[in-house]
Chain A
Amino acid sequence: MNYSHEAEAWNCTSCGAGLVVTKVFFTYMKGNFEVDLPACPECGLVLVPEDLVRGKMVEAERILEDK
Chain B
Amino acid sequence: MEKDELIAWENKCIQEESPECTSACPLHVDARLFLKETRKGDWDAAYKVLNKTMPFAGILGRICDHPCEERCKRGSIGGPIAIGALERYCVERFTGKKRVQPLPRKNHRIAVVGTGLAGVTAAWDLLKKGFVVTVFESGDRLGGSLWDLPEQILPREVITEEFSVFEALKADVRLGTRIDKALFEQICEEYEAVILDRDSLHGVDLSLKLDNDGLIAIDAATGATERSGVFAGGGTRFRGGFSPVMETLEGRKPALSIERLMQKVGLTFGRENEGPCSTRLYTNIEEIDPLPRVVAADTVKGYTEEEARKEAERCIQCECMECVKKCLFLERYRAYPKKYAREIFNNERILLGAAHQYNVFTNSCSTCGLCETVCPNDFYMGDLCLEARRTMLKQKFMPPSFHEFALQDMAHSNSEHFSLSRHEPGKTESSWLYFPSCQLCSTSPGEVLTSYRFLRNKLSGGVGIMFRCCGAPAMWAGRDDLFIESINDIRNAWEQMGKPCIITACSTCESIFGEHLPEMETVSLWKVLEDTGLPEGGPSIAEAVKSSTVSIADPCITRNVPATRQSVRRIVQSLGITIEELPLSNEKPECCGYGGLMYNANPELARDVIAHRARRVPPPVLTKPFSPPAGWYRTGLMEDTDTVYYHTTVNEHDYVAYCAMCRDNLAAHGKRSAHLIELVFPNVDGADPAARGWISWSDRRANRVRVKGELLRELGEKGEVPMEEHEKIRLDISAEVLRRIDDQRILEDDIRKVIDYAEKNQKRLRHRESGNYLAYYQPENVTYWVEYSPHGEGFKIHNAYCHRMKIVGTKR
Which A positions have Cβ atoms within 8 angstroms of B? 8-14, 19, 22-29, 32-34, 39-40, 43-48, 50, 53-54, 57-58, 60-62, 64-67
The minimal Cβ–Cβ distance linking B460 to chain A, given in whole angstroms, is 54
Is B268 positioned at the interface, with any CB of A under 8 Å from its CB?
no
Given contacts A50-B785, A57-B803, A65-B401, contact A13 B762 (CB under 8 A): yes
Cβ contact within 8 Å between B785 and A48:
yes
Cβ contact within 8 Å between A48 and B807:
yes
Cβ contact within 8 Å between A11 and B766:
yes
B806 partner residues in chain A, CB cutoff 8 A: 26-28
B651 partner residues in chain A, CB cutoff 8 A: none
Q: Which of A14, A19, A54, A58 contacts B763 (CB 8 A)?
A: A14
Q: How far is the CA of A6 from the CA of B232 in the complex (A)?
A: 86
Q: How far is the CA of A21 from the CA of B109 in the complex (A)?
A: 81
Instruction: Choose, from B446-454, B514-522, B581-589, B767-775, the stretch at the interface.
Output: B767-775
B356 partner residues in chain A, CB cutoff 8 A: 66-67
Chain B 787-812: CB-based contact to A (< 8 A → 1; otherwise 0): 00000000000010111111111111
Cβ contact within 8 Å between B765 and A27:
no
Q: Considering only CB atoms, which chain A residue lies closest to B629 in the complex?
A: A66
- Other than the known A12-B766, A27-B805, what 4 A-B pairs have Cβ atoms closer than 8 Å? A11-B766, A65-B359, A65-B399, A66-B629
Cβ contact within 8 Å between B810 and A26:
no
Is B653 positioned at the interface, with any CB of A under 8 Å from its CB?
no
B785 partner residues in chain A, CB cutoff 8 A: 48, 50, 53
Cβ contact within 8 Å between B802 and A24:
no
Cβ contact within 8 Å between B801 and A54:
yes
Given contacts A11-B765, A19-B765, A66-B359, contact A39 B810 (CB under 8 A): yes
Q: Tell me the B339-374 residues at the A interface (CB within 8 Å).
A: 355-360
Given contacts A39-B810, A46-B810, A50-B785, contact A65 B402 (CB under 8 A): yes
Given contacts A45-B763, A50-B799, contact A22 B811 (CB under 8 A): yes
Cβ contact within 8 Å between A28 and B805:
yes
Q: How far is the CA of A25 from the CA of B810 in the complex (A)?
A: 6
> Could you tell me how many residues of chain B have their Cβ less than 8 Å away from some Cβ of chain A?
37
Which B positions have Cβ atoms within 8 angstroms of A? 355-360, 399, 401-402, 629, 761-769, 773-774, 776, 783, 785, 799, 801-812
Given contacts A13-B773, A64-B399, A66-B629, contact A26 B359 (CB under 8 A): no
Given contacts A48-B776, A50-B801, A66-B629, contact A23 B811 (CB under 8 A): yes
The minimal Cβ–Cβ distance linking A30 to chain B, given in whole angstroms, is 10
B764 partner residues in chain A, CB cutoff 8 A: 13-14, 45
The minimal Cβ–Cβ distance linking B608 to chain A, given in whole angstroms, is 17
- 3 shortest A-B CB distances, which residue pairs? A65-B399, A23-B811, A25-B808
The minimal Cβ–Cβ distance linking B627 to chain A, given in whole angstroms, is 15
Cβ contact within 8 Å between A47 and B804:
no
B401 partner residues in chain A, CB cutoff 8 A: 61, 65
A44 partner residues in chain B, CB cutoff 8 A: 809-810, 812
Given contacts A47-B774, A53-B785, contact A25 B765 (CB under 8 A): no
Q: Considering only CB atoms, which chain B residue lies closest to A52 in the complex?
A: B803
Q: How far is the CA of A53 from the CA of B808 in the complex (A)?
A: 16
A65 partner residues in chain B, CB cutoff 8 A: 359-360, 399, 401-402
Cβ contact within 8 Å between B402 and A24:
no
Cβ contact within 8 Å between A12 and B801:
no
Q: How far is the CA of A14 from the CA of B775 in the complex (A)?
A: 12
Q: How far is the CA of A46 from the CA of B768 in the complex (A)?
A: 16
Given contacts A29-B399, A44-B810, A65-B360, contact A10 B766 (CB under 8 A): yes
A61 partner residues in chain B, CB cutoff 8 A: 401, 803-805
The minimal Cβ–Cβ distance linking A50 to chain B, given in whole angstroms, is 5
Q: Considering only CB atoms, which chain B residue lies closest to A25 in the complex?
A: B808
Please, could you name 27 A-B residue pairs with CB atoms under 8 Å apart, sorted by A? A8-B768, A10-B774, A12-B766, A14-B764, A22-B811, A23-B810, A24-B807, A24-B811, A25-B808, A25-B809, A25-B811, A27-B806, A27-B808, A28-B804, A33-B805, A39-B810, A46-B776, A48-B776, A48-B783, A48-B785, A48-B803, A50-B801, A53-B801, A57-B803, A57-B805, A66-B358, A66-B629
Q: How far is the CA of A29 from the CA of B799 in the complex (A)?
A: 27
Q: How far is the CA of A41 from the CA of B801 in the complex (A)?
A: 24
A50 partner residues in chain B, CB cutoff 8 A: 785, 799, 801
The minimal Cβ–Cβ distance linking A21 to chain B, given in whole angstroms, is 10
Cβ contact within 8 Å between B765 and A66:
no
Cβ contact within 8 Å between B765 and A47:
yes
Given contacts A28-B805, A48-B803, A53-B802, contact A11 B810 (CB under 8 A): no
A67 partner residues in chain B, CB cutoff 8 A: 355-357
